[in-house]
Structure formats: structure tokens, C-alpha cells
Amino acid sequence: MQDNQSLSQAKELLRNKQFFQAYHLLAKASSQTPKNADLWNLMGYSLAQLGLYLAASRRFQKALQLAPDQADIIENLKQSTFQAQKFRKQVSIPRRSACVSAIIITYNKWSMTEQCLKHLVEKTPELQEIIIVDNNSSDETPEKLTAWQAQDPERNKIILNQNNLGYAAACNQGLAMAKSEYLMIMNNDILVTYGWLARMLNDMEREKAWVAGPAASNGYGQQTIQEIPRDFIWKNDLLEEYAQQRALKHQDKGHKTHRLVGFCILFHRKVCDKIGGLDTRFGIGTFEDDDFCYRALMAGFQPWWSQGSFVHHLGGVSFQNANLDMKHIMQHNWQVFIDKWQLPEKNQDLFIEQEMPITRYSIPELMNRPWSSDYYIPLA
């Protein structure tokens, strides 16, 4: 009876082209009654309507195992398999030589860091070195990082801080150690996809950009992809297929921007040589990324949003681990930002009006401000 109700509701959602909602409803129902072929068949149909044919085929195969003679399932699987094979032929995974130093900041949550590193190593041959700076984690992270470093000391490097220095200071430590032509700061709550970094590097060369950032399931502002719920990607086997599908759709696409979010920023070493690192006056974090991008712009280094590069970003993990009030910290750092750049009083209330003010709107007073050596932030 409950299955029939779920099927009826799902069909109504599908008629209204609410494919994500239909899939969620069906997935929940199938977890309670996993041997209902109709549920699996409609799950596959929902995914096929979203263009996720590889994942759809797996659902149709499951349905067919449960109902081997059901004609509509056989036809659905046939069509989905054909589209999946066509998709595989279209996908091209770019590769580059190892030329990037990745700086990752950690604070507890080793399981998240471990998963991040697994994806990073498996899917990013462009990394020359991975530098992890730990901000005095109280869990197993320091011990695990020490073992991780021993696996490949030439590539894997760690800094274990005795205090939580904040995001900016930790990033600067990693940047000071880095040796590669390109430098990248990123959070430990990211799952990368095949070709993501090569696509950003290609975009930077093609567009003559010096700073770049990927699209993400949760990046705050323009970098956040709204077309697919991030929980939908995270909880299902859809991440890689969606990333490659998006790469096909947005190949060589992107645009100039006034800022990129600090969950992942890639930049040429010349940027760091000119403007320095992140400003430590922002303490534990927030708005140091805005500040970095505006200084890059002032120094003549244009940031670029690479729309064809996609990562899954959980978001806010470090703040949650430390039991910090992110909104309070943001309000404080917004004032720090205003005071640092001596912005007009009209900007004082912008944070109250907008959840993430600088993410969405550029600040005219900073867009055309000339570079001054006073804006340089030393790494140490």
C-alpha cells in the first residue's frame, strides 16, 4: 500500500518534471522495500530525464533483475544503455604535467580529509606536491597525517601546528613551503572529479588569467551550481557522471569575476610573489578570500571562474568542528574588511541586507584601486 502511494506521488512529480524530487521519494521508498521493481524502474527513469544515463542504467538493471520479463524495463534499459555508451565516447579527460602545489588546511574530521586525499590523488595527476597544514587537531588527524607523509615524502608534506592559527595563517605556511609553478589553496571537505584541475589550468592559459576557481555543489554565490541539489550528488553515485556531463556542456566556458571563494583557489606563483598571501587579520576565517582576490585585481591579475571544472564541496565543516558561530565571525570580519579598505559608510549595512555581500556584488571603490606595495601580505 505504501509503495503504491509512493509510486503515485512519484508519477505526479514526474509529470510536473520534478525529477529530483521524484527520485528522492522513490529512493526512500526503495530503501524500505528494495525488491519492488517498479520503484527501481521509475528511479532509473528519473535519472534518465536528467541525462544521467550511466546511473539510470544501473537502476534499470536492478529493476530487470527483480522483473526479468517486464517489457517497459527492458526498453528503458536498452535506451539508457545506448545513451550511456554515447556519453562515454564524448567524454574527454584532459591531463597535464605535474605543476601544482596543493595546500590543504585541516582541523579534526580525519575521515573527511582521508576521503578528500583519496579523490585528489586518484583524479589529479597535475599535483606535484600536497602540503597539509593542520591547525592543532585534537582527533587522530596528526597521527594519520604523519603516516600519510611517510608513504611518499617527496610529494606528501605536512605542518603540524601547536595552535589553531586560523585559515589565512595556515595557508601562508603552506604557500611558503610550496615549490610548484602553480599554487592552490583548498579545504579538506572537497571531493574532486577527473579532469577538474587540468580544465582550470587550460582556462587560465587560454584566457590569460592568473587566478581561477571551479564550479561547486556548494561554493557560495556564483560558483554554486543551482541546477542540481548537492545532497542529490553526495548521497548517490552521480558525482563523476554529473561532473563530466557538465564539462561537456561548459567546455572552455567561464567568465571574469571580482572574487573566488576560498574553498579552492588556484593561482600562478607570480600572483603570490606580487601580492603575498592571505591577510591574517581575518583570524579564523571568512573574507580573507575576498581580500586576496581584490588585491590580485589591483595588481593586474584577473580571477576567472572555470565553469567546466566541478567539485563537490560540503562547506562549513571546519567551523562546525570548532563549534564556532559562523554568522558572528562573518559579521566581525566584514567590519574588519570595511575598516581595512576604508570603505564608505554606505557599505556598513550591506552585510545585514545580503547574506554574502561581496560574493554577489563587486565593490566599485576597490575594482579600480591602483596597486600599492602596502597591500603586500608577507607569508611569514
Interval 94-133: pLDDT, tens: 999 999 999 999 999 999 999 999 999 999 999 999 999 9
Cell of 49: 530525464
More confident residue, 315 or 199: 199
- What distance in Å separates the CA atoms of residue 361 and residue 249, rounded to the nearest whole number? 26
Q: Cα Rg for the chain, rounded, in angstroms? A: 23
Q: Residue 280 in contact with residue 168, Cβ under 8 Å?
A: yes
pLDDT of residue 238: 85
Cell of 230: 548537492
- What distance in Å separates the CA atoms of residue 252 and residue 308, rounded to the nearest whole number? 7
From its phi and psi, is residue 194 left (phi > 0), alpha (psi between -120 and 50) or beta? beta
pLDDT of residue 331: 84
- What distance in Å separates the CA atoms of residue 240 and residue 217, rounded to the nearest whole number? 12
pLDDT of residue 219: 64
Taking only the tens place, the pLDDT of each residue in 299-310 is 999 999 999 999
Name residue, grid cell 581575518.
282
Confidence tier at 321 by pLDDT (50, 70, 90): low
Taking only the tens place, the pLDDT of each residue in 12-35 is 999 999 998 898 889 889 888 999
- What distance in Å separates the CA atoms of residue 129 and residue 109, rounded to the nearest whole number? 22
Q: Taking 70 as the threshold, does the pLDDT of residue 158 lie above it?
A: yes
pLDDT mean over 141-157: 97
Tell which residue, 327, 285, 139, 126, has the closest CA to residue 212: 126
Q: Taking 60 as the threshold, does the pLDDT of residue 51 lie above it?
A: yes
Going by DSSP bridges, is the β-strand pair 156-160/211-216 parallel, antiparallel, or unpaired?
Answer: unpaired
Confidence tier at 139 by pLDDT (50, 70, 90): very high
Cell of 145: 597525517
Q: Residue 363 in contact with residue 225, Cβ under 8 Å?
A: no
More confident residue, 317 or 11: 11
pLDDT mean over 347-363: 67
What is the topology classification, in CATH, of domain 100-321?
Spore Coat Polysaccharide Biosynthesis Protein SpsA; Chain A (3.90.550)
Q: Residue 258 in contact with residue 367, Cβ under 8 Å?
A: yes
Mean pLDDT of the chain: 90
User: In the 8-state DSSP scheme, what is residue 183?
Assistant: E
pLDDT of residue 344: 86
CATH 1.25.40.10 fits 2-90, yes or no: yes
Taking only the tens place, the pLDDT of each residue in 208-253 is 999 999 999 876 677 888 777 666 666 667 889 999 999 999 998 9
Confidence tier at 352 by pLDDT (50, 70, 90): low
The helix/strand/coil state of 357 is helix
pLDDT of residue 225: 81
pLDDT mean over 51-61: 95
| All residues at 6 or more sequence positions from 221 whose CB lies less than 8 Å from its CB, including other chains | 261, 356, 359, 360
Name residue, grid cell 545580503.
354
Confidence tier at 328 by pLDDT (50, 70, 90): confident
What are the two backbone dihedrals, phi and then psi, of residue 70, each rounded to the nearest 5 degrees? -80, 115
Report residue 219 CA to chain centroid gap: 6
pLDDT of residue 97: 95
pLDDT of residue 362: 85
Q: Percent of the chain, pLDDT > 70? A: 91
The helix/strand/coil state of 229 is coil
CA distances from 278 to 143, 180, 226, 298, 358 (A): 27, 18, 29, 15, 17
Confidence tier at 330 by pLDDT (50, 70, 90): confident
pLDDT mean over 323-332: 79
> Cα-Cα-Cα-Cα dihedral of 185, 189, 191, 195, to 10°?
-10
**What's the pTM?**
0.90
pLDDT of residue 211: 98
Tell which residue, 237, 245, 204, has the closest CA to residue 86: 245
Give the Cβ contact number of residue 290 at 10 Å: 26
Confidence tier at 269 by pLDDT (50, 70, 90): very high
Tell which residue, 196, 245, 197, 198, has the closest CA to residue 90: 245
Q: Taking 60 as the threshold, does the pLDDT of residue 322 lie above it?
A: no
Q: Taking 70 as the threshold, does the pLDDT of residue 354 lie above it?
A: no
- What distance in Å separates the CA atoms of residue 103 and residue 12, rounded to the nearest whole number? 47
Cell of 106: 585541516
pLDDT of residue 233: 65
Give the Cβ contact number of residue 169 at 10 Å: 24
Q: Percent of the chain, pLDDT > 90? A: 73
